[in-house]
């Protein structure tokens, strides 16, 4: 009979049923022969990842895309007509851009290798009745494995025996608190975080020990399922990539149209075929924005450096701009919105509730009508310190900072005692521990017996329901009363209310003045003190960051594997939802993707809190937002976040607390794990996009003017039209340096005061195309005027007229950079004139032009001559016309708007 594998519903079965189904023995385990047989059937306990791309394939992919094809076409045509300089120049652009992309791609190759780091090397198992140490890769279904505190769980397993077992499953489930494990079966379906009788590969044992039967290995584990999701989830093309590719296709269309017009006109006019072909090449070169790939890459690289100063390390260049276009941020809770530490949040005494704020000392905010719980507070702090096995140590004699180890809740109690300035050293001497009832999942309590100068003292803590059964009295200020049923019901209701607030509740009790050491019955007849609520506290700066995102039109959504009540409580505290909002969707409620109705999709899109979600559900939620037209940023730090991180438009991992898997998958890593850094990075991303938009408009208007000039002069004065190499020189000069200066600008500081741009809109909208055409038309007109003026009033030499067009267009494009200031800015003092890189670029370009005209070899290559002063004067004056014309039109429009 075949073994059912993987045994996904093992948590719903008893331990004996699992042992029987998987055909093993709890005391002797599998035989070595059976283990060898099963490893042949089920494979090793490791991941069979897909073969990675070869470096050759990665390199080849850098030469794909419309704009690259356009550049390659231009280089090929130049080679055909033996214009080696043109071909070499274009090829250089292609190779530089490919090299940058190749290097960036190589960084992502190790993303799946991080998963292998989760494997442990040695595991303790029972085989043939003996306890053996074997490599974890040799584990098979049915193996009986032994686990202790400090172990990394090597495979998924059903617990059959355990003692005080707690596992840290935060990286897999998002649960802040360690999961307290139990051996009993679970009735019905349960999400991953509620399967308390299971252990999962890649999680860690923080307390206790256990014996478990392996139910899943390798790819059949929960971690293996995530691995396959990460591998199968395709990376989404970024909005910037899509927009630049779309822009390239439009440029190809414009080039073909203009070339067709010129060719038809040339045939009608009876021009020679060679002239028509050469001019068509010039048009093709003019249409190619050679500087666009390089300028975009450098601008984004500059953004990477600036964002690194803002605690955001960018691994993928395009993520810089994509983050600026984000309309939805899907964020994890633990470690992102919260501190990822357990701390005391609330005291609830029989007659008073006290909120806790901890800095270097304890401060209290009272909410009750009375403030007579000082006796309860004093004894509760004492009980919390004494009934505690956590340890605080110093790394050295001069090290003032303490390092804690132990159960996270007990660490929180120890920190609370230190913050309250309890003299813990004296207390340890005064209250010597002589007995203990350890915590277990059966009794859900812990008690300790101490000897002190007045007799014996008992300290106890545990679940409210179980500890109350051991209490017969209650402390009410300085007086002890009998604990009646009314008071018991009141305490249980208070506990339920705290749980509804997302707090983990622990009750405390004591007994003092015992005259004899009775270790057999000291855990009875206790005095109830009160309860303490524990919480993974929210980060202090989160509320302001979420408000900034909301003002910027960005929806923030929490997706966590934690309990829904805890998720709602934190969401309210950080301002994600209002105090009365109870709308939360749990993973158990979510239908399968194929079963999602339109109503369900709308509900998902309108919800801000998701709890108890699985890794696949996180991925599905991200896809739903993307399909609704949103640009999705996903944050995370756990293994369970990796699939959604890969699918998101921009993925953000936590650098301090994040797992290797999350950090390798993400495109951005936060050095400080703070959501506030995300808000700042979004702001900078928006600034970068505006800079990109400016230099794209500048490049296109310059290149379009070249197309117009070649076409018009080719019809009016064919011999004076621009040559292909001159156009290429212009593009390499004016397209790169001034455009690059625009890309390095500081941008508009009000970018976070408006909503995100429509992701469906291109970088260049229809209205912007009209503006670009206007800019190009004005520059074309200025060059045409200069050429015709010189032709009829100065000279009819075709080379001098060609040089006139070249100089006029060169300086016209350089001055045109000042037209890129925003419409509302001051014409003299604005983001362009205050940009030092613009002035440096203009000086450099002007110096290169002067150098070209003064070096004979360069003049010959570009077919230039020594120009008379009159031609220089005409060309410079004409080159100023576009700037003066456009700025005058802006001033007129602004004055009309003021008057209206």
* Alpha-carbon distance values, 546 to 30, 60, 312, 553, 629 (Å): 54, 42, 17, 11, 22
| Tokens of residue 567, six digits | 């998720």
Question: Of 377, 383, 379, 349, whose CA–CA distance to 363 is shortest?
Answer: 377
**CA–CA gap between residue 815 and residue 812 (Å, rounded):** 5
**Which one-letter DSSP state was computed for residue 591?**
P
**CA–CA gap between residue 476 and residue 351 (Å, rounded):** 7
**CA–CA gap between residue 336 and residue 545 (Å, rounded):** 12
Alpha-carbon torsion (323, 327, 330, 333), positive or negative: positive
Task: Count CA atoms within 13 Å of residue 246 on its CB side.
Answer: 13
- Judge whether 576 and 604 are in contact, CB under 8 Å: no
**CA–CA gap between residue 730 and residue 722 (Å, rounded):** 10
Question: Of 177, 213, 172, whose CA–CA distance to 191 is shortest?
Answer: 172
| Tokens of residue 764, six digits | 């260049």
Crossing angle (nearest 10°) for helices 273-287 and 675-716: 160
Residues 231-260: b if buried by 16+ CB within 10 A, e if exposed: bebeebebbbeebbeebbeebbebbeebbe
- Judge whether 251 and 287 are in contact, CB under 8 Å: yes
**Which one-letter DSSP state was computed for residue 454?**
T
**CA–CA gap between residue 813 and residue 815 (Å, rounded):** 6
3-state secondary structure of 269: helix
- Judge whether 417 and 424 are in contact, CB under 8 Å: yes
Q: Which of 86, 119, 156, 332 is catalytic?
A: 332
**What is the bridge-based pairing of β-strands 432-437 and 402-405?**
unpaired
What are the backbone angles phi and psi of residue 461, rounded to the nearest 5°? -150, 155
**CA–CA gap between residue 665 and residue 556 (Å, rounded):** 21
- Judge whether 456 and 515 are in contact, CB under 8 Å: yes
**CA–CA gap between residue 559 and residue 228 (Å, rounded):** 21
Question: Of 676, 561, 745, whose CA–CA distance to 171 is shortest?
Answer: 561
Active site (annotated) includes residue 332: yes
**Which one-letter DSSP state was computed for residue 11?**
G
* Alpha-carbon distance values, 206 to 148, 181, 413 (Å): 8, 11, 17
- Judge whether 277 and 82 are in contact, CB under 8 Å: no
Catalytic residues: 332
């Amino acid at each position: 009979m075949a073994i059912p594998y993987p045994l996904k519903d093992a948590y719903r079965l008893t331990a004996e049923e699992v042992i029987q189904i998987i055909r093993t023995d709890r005391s002797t385990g599998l035989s070595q022969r059976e283990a060898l047989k099963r490893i042949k059937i089920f494979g090793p306990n490791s991941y069979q990842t897909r073969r990675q791309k070869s470096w050759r394939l990665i390199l080849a992919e850098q030469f794909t895309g419309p704009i690259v094809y356009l550049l390659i076409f231009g280089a090929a045509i130049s080679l055909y007509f033996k214009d080696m300089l043109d071909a070499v120049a274009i090829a250089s652009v292609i190779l530089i851009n490919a090299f940058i992309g190749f290097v960036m791609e190589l960084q992502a190759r190790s993303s799946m290798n991080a998963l292998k780091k989760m494997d442990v090397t040695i595991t303790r198992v029972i085989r043939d009745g003996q306890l053996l140490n074997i490599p974890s890769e040799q584990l098979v279904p049915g193996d009986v494995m032994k686990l202790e505190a400090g172990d990394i769980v090597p495979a998924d397993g059903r617990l059959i025996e355990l003692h005080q077992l707690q596992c840290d499953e935060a990286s897999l489930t998002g649960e802040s608190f360690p999961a307290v494990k139990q051996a009993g079966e679970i009735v019905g379906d349960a999400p991953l975080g509620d399967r308390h009788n299971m252990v999962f590969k890649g999680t860690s044992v923080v307390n206790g020990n256990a014996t478990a039967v392996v139910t899943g290995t390798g790819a059949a584990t929960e971690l293996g399922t995530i691995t396959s999701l990460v591998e199968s989830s395709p990376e989404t093309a970024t909005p910037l990539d899509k927009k630049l590719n779309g822009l390239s296709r439009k440029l190809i269309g414009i080039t073909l149209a203009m070339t067709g017009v010129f060719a038809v006109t040339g045939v009608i006019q009876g021009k020679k075929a060679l002239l028509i072909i050469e001019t068509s090449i010039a048009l093709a070169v003019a249409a190619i924005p050679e500087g666009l790939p390089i300028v975009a890459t450098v601008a984004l690289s500059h953004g990477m450096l600036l964002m690194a100063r803002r605690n955001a390390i960018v691994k993928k260049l395009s993520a810089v701009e994509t983050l600026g276009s984000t309309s939805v941020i899907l964020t994890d809770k633990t470690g992102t919105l919260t501190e990822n530490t357990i701390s005391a949040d609330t005291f609830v005494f029989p007659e008073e509730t006290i909120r806790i704020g901890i800095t270097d000392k304890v401060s209290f905010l009272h909410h009750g009508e009375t403030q007579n719980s000082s006796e309860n507070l004093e004894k509760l702090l004492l009980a919390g310190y004494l009934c505690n096995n956590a340890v605080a140590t110093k790394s050295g004699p001069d090290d003032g900072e303490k390092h804690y180890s132990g159960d996270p809740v007990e660490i929180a109690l120890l920190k609370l005692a230190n913050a309250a300035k309890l003299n813990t050293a004296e207390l340890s001497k005064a209250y010597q521990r002589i007995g203990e009832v350890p915590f277990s999942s059966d009794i859900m309590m812990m008690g300790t017996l101490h000897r002190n100068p007045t007799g014996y003292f008992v300290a106890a803590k545990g679940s409210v329901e179980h500890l109350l059964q051991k209490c017969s009295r209650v402390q009410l200020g300085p007086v002890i009363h009998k604990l009646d049923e009314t008071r018991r019901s009141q305490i249980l209701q208070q506990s339920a209310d705290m749980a509804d607030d997302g707090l983990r509740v622990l009750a405390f009790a004591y007994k003092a003045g015992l005259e004899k050491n009775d270790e057999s019955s000291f855990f009875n007849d206790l005095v109830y003190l009160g309860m303490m609520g524990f919480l993974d506290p929210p980060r202090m700066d989160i509320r302001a960051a979420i408000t900034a995102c909301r003002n910027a039109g960005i929806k923030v959504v929490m997706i966590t594997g934690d309990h829904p009540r805890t998720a709602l409580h934190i969401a309210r505290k950080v301002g994600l939802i209002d105090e009365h909002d109870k709308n939360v969707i749990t993973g158990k409620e979510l239908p399968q993707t194929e079963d999602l109705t339109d109503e369900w999709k709308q509900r998902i899109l309108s919800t801000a809190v998701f709890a108890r979600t699985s890794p696949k559900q996180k991925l599905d939620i991200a896809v739903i937002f993307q399909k609704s037209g949103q640009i999705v940023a996903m944050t995370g730090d756990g293994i369970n976040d990796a699939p959604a991180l890969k699918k998101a438009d921009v993925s953000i991992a936590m650098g301090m607390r994040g797992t290797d898997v999350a950090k390798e998958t993400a495109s951005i890593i936060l050095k400080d794990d703070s959501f506030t850094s995300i808000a700042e990075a979004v702001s900078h991303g928006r600034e970068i996009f505006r800079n990109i938009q400016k230099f794209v408009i500048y490049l296109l208007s310059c290149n379009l003017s070249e197309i117009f000039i070649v076409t018009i002069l080719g019809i009016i004065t064919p011999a004076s039209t621009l040559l292909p190499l001159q156009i290429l020189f212009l593009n390499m000069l004016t397209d790169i340096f001034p455009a690059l200066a625009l890309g390095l600008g500081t941008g508009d500081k009000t970018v976070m005061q408006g909503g995100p741009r429509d992701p469906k809109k291109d970088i260049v909208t229809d209205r912007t195309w009209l503006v670009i055409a206007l800019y190009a038309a004005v520059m074309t007109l200025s060059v045409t005027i200069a050429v015709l003026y010189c032709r009829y009033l100065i000279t009819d030499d075709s080379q001098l007229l060609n040089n006139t067009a070249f100089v006029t267009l060169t300086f016209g494009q350089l001055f045109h950079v000042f037209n890129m200031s925003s419409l509302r800015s001051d014409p003299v003092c604005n983001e362009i004139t205050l940009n030092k890189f613009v002035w440096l670029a203009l000086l450099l370009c002007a110096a290169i032009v002067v150098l070209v005209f003064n070096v004979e070899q360069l003049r010959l290559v570009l077919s230039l001559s020594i120009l008379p002063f009159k031609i220089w004067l005409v060309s410079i004056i004409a080159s100023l016309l576009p700037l003066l014309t456009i700025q005058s039109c802006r001033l007129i429009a602004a004055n009309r708007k003021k008057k209206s």
